[in-house]
Amino acid sequence: MLNWGSGANNPKFKQRRQNLVDKLRDKGIEDERVLSAINMVPRHVFVDTALEDRAYKDSALPIGKKQTISQPYTVARQTELLEAKPGEKVLEIGTGSGYQAAILCELGAEVYTVERHKKLYEKARSTLRELGYSVQAKLGDGTKGWSAYAPYDAIVVTAGAPVVPDDLVDQLNVNGRLVVPVGSEERQEMVRIIKIRKDEFERERYSSFKFVPLIGEKGWKG
């Protein structure tokens, strides 16, 4: 799946990826499929070349437009909670750099992703294509989901929402999972919603995180 051209297979980063995986395991990430995906995806390709030496630190990095590539632990934890299985249809809200979408591809998911910033959308789509990942990408308001391809088996939101967007819940398949950080603009609680039946949902709460705000009609106002 992964095309190791375009500097992706720079040998100096291979051990750094493994060290990052070991650190994430020590911090409590248990899903070996998620850890294997993180060990496969060249995170340094998704950041500016000036930042690539920091790509395998467990920290968020700027990608422009006041957005970030999330801390690897955050990506791993959200992905772990998402429980994406091979062949499942997964919607990502907030493409950003494209890194999370690549992780989902490595898990064998059929990935759909929405980004509101044109520059980030174009760059992420180009990076994913160069690496050989097949992703359906859309420029638009992610708070409204992507109804044309609904329902989804899983939906992950990579920005902090003031409330859970109803449109995303509506676009879940039965037994589908929605993972979304919810709270203030300063701090959010990770929430997982599982659709048990058409009108029955289970809501779970996890640790606190800090995300950039989810901007859109059903999120924060830009």
The 10 Å CB-count burial string (b at 16+, else e) for 175-209 is ebbbbbbbbeeeebebbbbbbeeeeeeeeeeeeeb
Vertex 48 angle, CA 33 and 14, to 5°: 40
Distance in angstroms between the alpha carbons of the first and the last residue of the chain:
37
Q: Which residues contact 26 (CB under 8 A, 6 or more apart)?
A: none
Cis peptide before 151 (omega within 30 of 0): yes
SS3 155: strand
- Annotated catalytic, 70? yes
Residue 172: closest CA among 68, 93, 75: 93
Catalytic residue among 36, 59, 70, 207: 70
The single residue listed with the structure tokens 């939101």 is 157
Q: Which residues contact 218 (CB under 8 A, 6 or more apart)?
A: 141, 143, 144, 161, 165, 166, 167
Distance from C-alpha of 3 to C-alpha of 193, rounded to nearest angstrom: 34
Residues annotated as catalytic (active site), given as ranges: 70
